[in-house]
Amino acid sequence: MSFIKEFWEFLKERKKYWLLPIIIVLFLFGGLIILTQGSAVAPFIYTIF
């Protein structure tokens, strides 16, 4: 949790708010891959990439 807090402080201090959507999308894709790894949906997810 402290990493997220430090990252947020970095974004506020350096005025790099444009990085936030990129990080969120990367976490969502990572979570999607992890959650569908053992399911029947996995072959269809991997064809997207």
Write down the pLDDT at residue 8.
87
pLDDT tens by residue, 10-33: 888 898 888 889 999 999 988 887
pLDDT band with cut points at 50, 70 and 90 for residue 42? low
The predicted structure's pLDDT at residue 49 = 66
Looking at residue 11, its pLDDT comes to: 86
pLDDT score, position 4: 84
CA distance 37 to 13: 37
- pLDDT for 17 equals 86
The chain-wide mean pLDDT, for the chain, equals: 82
Buried-exposed string 19-41: b where 16+ CB fall within 10 A, e elsewhere: eeeeeeeeeeeeeeeeeeeeeee
